Amino acid sequence: MKKSSWLMIGACVVLLLGLWGVYSLTQKPAPGFTEEHVTHMLTAMKTAVEHKDVRGIMSFVDEAPETRISRLNQDQTRLLLNRAFHQSGKLQAEFTKLELHPSETDATADFDLEVKHHMAEGDGIDYSGHITLHMRQVEVPHLLGLYHTMDWRITRAETTGPDLANYGDY
């Protein structure tokens, strides 16, 4: 056989191994709804707030049209976060009193949240309240939809804090 034929066979084998690897990644079950998993998610969202990363926060929210964050749909939530991040100085988020209520297909996480801002004029509290996140396992697309995995996403959030729908209105 010619050298080019061996190269083509080798490339096909590498491609098949890559496809098999991607397929095996998609067959892994969703991570369990554990305190470690939720703490990791909340810590990632806390870091996203401190870096003013709207995408980082929204990556944990289900993309379904019925998803609501304190009565706001995804576009409204994204706009609210953009406006809040643009108008504020350095932010620091802290969550405490985490309680989990898991079930087979959905779960809730309750915690207290406080977001502080640090500016030259002084420090202040932008948000303080109790949050309830309703979550469920959903298919999450990867690599432009080439494969999907199951993961926990926020489908609804409720708060006892200020009404987020009016944030920034004077």
* The pair of three-digit structure tokens given for residue 8, joined into one six-digit string: 């083509």
In this structure, the answer to whether residues 142 and 162 fall within a common structural domain is yes
For residues 26 and 162, the model is more confident at 162
In this structure, the answer to whether residues 26 and 1 fall within a common structural domain is yes
Burial code (b: 16+ CB inside 10 Å, e: under 16) for 58-75 equals bebbbeeeebbbbebebe
CA distance 139 to 148: 6
Categorize the per-residue pLDDT at 167 as very low, low, confident or very high, splitting at 50, 70 and 90.
Answer: low
In this structure, the answer to whether residues 64 and 143 fall within a common structural domain is yes
Sign of CA dihedral 94, 81, 145, 108: positive
> Residue 138: which CATH number?
3.10.450.50
Contact present, 113 and 95 (Cβ < 8 Å):
yes
Where is average pLDDT lowest: 7-16, 17-26, 125-134?
17-26
In this structure, the answer to whether residues 54 and 98 fall within a common structural domain is yes
pTM (global) more than 0.75? no
Using alpha carbons only, what angle is made at residue 58 by residues 57 and 63, rounded to the nearest 5 degrees? Answer: 155
pLDDT at residue 170, rounded to an integer: 41
In this structure, the answer to whether residues 52 and 25 fall within a common structural domain is no
Q: Convert the pLDDT of each residue in 86-129 to its tens digit.
A: 877 788 889 999 998 887 778 889 999 988 887 777 777 878 88
Helix (H, G, I), strand (E, B) or coil at 147: strand
In this structure, the answer to whether residues 39 and 26 fall within a common structural domain is no
Q: Convert the pLDDT of each residue in 75-97 to its tens digit.
A: 888 888 888 888 777 888 899 99
Full residue range of the structural domain in which residue 14 is found = 1-30
**Domain count for the chain:** 2
